[in-house]
Structure 1
Amino acid sequence: MTVFRGYKLLFYLLLQLVALPSIAQFQADSFIEKLLKKHPERFSEILNNPDKYRIQVLYTRIDRNKKNEPHFTTHGYRVNSAEYFYPASTVKLAAVALAFEKMNKLGYDKYTPMFTGADRPEQTKVDADTTSESGLPSVAHYAKKILLASDNDAFNRLYEFIGQKEFNDSLHHKGFTNTRIVHRLDSPMGAENNRYTNAIRFERGGEIIFEQPARYNEKELKAPEQILLGKGFMKDGVLVNEPFDFSSKNFFPLEEQHRLLKTLFFPDQVPPGQRFNLTPDDYGFLYQYMSQFPVETSFPAHYTDDLYDGYVKFLLFGATKTRLPRHIRLFNKCGDAYGFLLDNAYIADFEKGIEFMLTAVIYCNADQIFNDNKYDYDEIGFPFMANLGKTIFEYELDRKRSVRPDLSRFEVEYDK
């Protein structure tokens, strides 16, 4: 009887493995490399020196059946979770999803005014936000600033609300087991101070409806070994001639970035335990502000004048300052820091019925010195991102589809 039960359990587990969607798999084949080699004028320098530029690319082709159900085929180029890159602002998308999920768990909507305390000298408090329509801070407004303009302070406030331990535990429970988010962004705080997160309170009608005390993560989060890159770094204006150690920096491998995007855009294709607990309004909010251009934005009002269409649109558009077409939308989260340039995007052309996912990173630091503000984003990074997006887009234009996808789920109304 025990043996029989064991076989039944094994058979059940095998069925579960078979039932797992292809969303989590990718083919480490030569598809992307062959495609790029067809355009030597765009990629010859990059392809001749892939290790120098530490390139990693994931591309997901999406085919729909007559029920509009998606089937995914993912190809990878040089994808290697053991090859470190600094994820920069791409970690912010996870912060938005986790903050929305936490608000739902608490039973409050994301527009509820949120106030941040400061219990330690290095911390700062927030009682107002003049860029929001109400003049008050909230999870929703922080999320908007993150998705529209990659605002660092907005990320830091969500990091403090979620808490360092909960941030990492929640992602690990959803299967993002290699990800490590350990610090605020553009902040002078050291590793120890980033383990402390501020007290938070939510108010409605001038009354406190929820208070979260300041927290400290008892578990130190860092890489098990040193991650040494480059040949020097600037510290207090002085060049230190030794590699820079990234072991206490954030880590968000490309495969997990790509899977996060898929989880948010195709939640029904993900096992329930790996989904985020989000409402239809949450998804609509994400799709709107991940794809909305600054000129289409009401609040923060200054985005319309200060930011251009391609401000945070690297793939396909290369952060161009010209007006972008409105029928093509990048639902994305990009980042750049320490010479690493990244973008993670679901790309849709609503006129031609094209959709695909593309995630990439490239290293643009020829002098191998960190913190000297001499990175090769304009010369190497942005052209690569634009050409990569263009090349995949052209392939998508040419390939035949048995069914035109219904993309109405992602067609959203913008502020203006």
Structure 2
Amino acid sequence: MKLLLLLGLLVGTIGVPAVAQSPLPRLLHTDSVLAPVARYARQHRLQIIYTRIRRDQRGRPHFRQYRYRLRPREYFYPASAIKLPAAVLALEKMQVLARQVPGLSSESPLRIDSVAWGQTSVVQDTSSQHHRASVAHYVRKLLLVSDNDAYNRLYELVGPAALQQGLRAHGLRHTVLRHRLSVGDQDSTARRTNAVAFFSDSSLTRPLYVQPAATFTGAWPRPRQHGLLVGQAHLQNGRRLPEPLDFSARNTTTLPDLHRTLRAILFPASVARRRQFQLDSADRRLLLDYMHRLPRQSQWPHYAAAHYPDNYAKFLLAGGAAGPLPAGIRIYNKIGQAYGFLVDNAYITNPAQGVEFLLSAVLYVNQDGVLNDDHYDYDTVGLPFLRRLGQVLYQRELQAKTAGKRAVVSSRKKQ
């Protein structure tokens, strides 16, 4: 019931975010945890977008956006943060196919075949209720614990060409998805996608739709950003190379693109109609539900709380040592963490207090300048910073809400 109420509120949205003088510089430079990072913002490649949300008497949200050191041309490795647009585009593809194939949906069991070197097949997924993989189940795994294989399977389903076309259609002009994650994809393997078959039954005997294997032969979009050479050295096959790591052939995005993706999911009416994601109510509920659901709250797939604490994939407001989220708070988000980069793209809300805001941030924490050595400053610098950033802005929003309530009470007394 709470989810349905939230959906009703989110659908009726208006307006585009206004940009106002940012409170972020003062907040960043006066806090003892935030200031040491903000002081060296350039070295940390720090960028922040904070969108304040205020609702009118009809419950419609209005947005005001604040930015700190926003550099769309400055590269950061998005890591798992790009899984969110990939998930949306996969669900959109299923919407298109469902209109052509009766009975097909994102929950339809599927089989993935391997037809080229470097590919792997999927026949079953024992983490699902019926031991079969599906697009919806991959989305759940991707959002709950940032599962890399789940993203890779959605990449294979949509394919490089359609991914780029879909991103451009939604105005995400600076995002490029050009490889799988954590499987050593090279250009040749990233261009080849597996055959995928969907079935009407969990026994995989009645096919609904078969998508053949494909090879992308087009040109990848050219990188538009600078800073694609990161660090002073990196490890490769156990050897230290005294040169930066080149990210020019890696996935790329910008903080505005990530922020825009999140807002388009949560507040579709705040986005131009031609840029809105084409999802039915069931798939949109799937996204909203699993963006905020905690790992222990999922039955299929099941994740043990001892290995996946509540804050496992929540950096802003809750990052750091394993623990629960603050009482009453929900965080709809997608994080990224790799090569010294930390990213979180979040909608933070406390419905009981009437607090809600959007917050996206990225920073680079790698003091020794060596990449691929697994010695990054996540626990000592990055996660404490993101946790505190979320806390400071949450308290700011809470105080503003409390002050607003007091003003209303005072006005009524005078009447």
User: TM-score when scaled to structure 2?
Assistant: 0.89
Match for residue 217 of structure 2?
A: 218
What is the CA-CA distance between 1:142 and the residue it aligns to?
0.4
Match for residue 94 of structure 1?
A: 85
Q: Is residue 31 of structure 1 aligned with residue 23 of structure 2?
A: yes
Match for residue 22 of structure 1?
A: 16
- Cα contact 1:133–1:299 (8 A) shared by 2: yes
Match for residue 118 of structure 1?
A: 114
- Cα contact 2:295–2:302 (8 A) shared by 1: no
What is the CA-CA distance between 1:319 and the residue it aligns to?
3.9
- Cα contact 1:362–1:381 (8 A) shared by 2: yes
Match for residue 209 of structure 1?
A: 208
Identical-residue share of aligned pairs (%): 38
> Within 5 A, what are the aligned runs for 1:165-204?
165-204=161-200
Letter in 2 for 1:306: H
Match for residue 346 of structure 1?
A: 347
Match for residue 44 of structure 2?
A: 53
> Within 5 A, what are the aligned runs for 1:17-416?
21-23=15-17, 26-27=19-20, 29-39=21-31, 41-107=32-98, 108-205=104-201, 206-221=205-220, 223-224=222-223, 227-400=228-401
What do the CA deviations read for 1:215-243 (whole angstroms, capped 9, x no partner)? 11122315447821211110100001111
Partners in 1 of 2:327 and 2:183 — Cα distance?
35
What is the CA-CA distance between 1:304 and the residue it aligns to?
4.0
What is the CA-CA distance between 1:386 and the residue it aligns to?
0.3
Match for residue 8 of structure 2?
A: none
User: How many residues in Structure 1 have an aligned counterpart in Structure 2?
Assistant: 382
Indicate the SS of the match to 1:357.
strand
Match for residue 10 of structure 2?
A: none
Letter in 2 for 1:221: W
Partners in 2 of 1:241 and 1:64 — Cα distance?
53
Partners in 2 of 1:377 and 1:204 — Cα distance?
45
- Cα contact 1:297–1:303 (8 A) shared by 2: no
Which runs of at least 4 in structure 1 moved beyond 6 Å after TM superposition?
A: none
Partners in 2 of 1:194 and 1:284 — Cα distance?
31
- Cα contact 1:128–1:137 (8 A) shared by 2: yes
User: TM-score when scaled to structure 1?
Assistant: 0.88
What do the CA deviations read for 1:191-249 (whole angstroms, capped 9, x no partner)? 22101111111011221110111111122315447821211110100001111110000
Partners in 2 of 1:303 and 1:172 — Cα distance?
38
- Cα contact 1:315–1:389 (8 A) shared by 2: yes
Partners in 2 of 1:230 and 1:102 — Cα distance?
38
Q: 299-308 or 347-356: which moved more?
A: 299-308
Q: CA-atom RMSD, angstroms?
A: 1.7
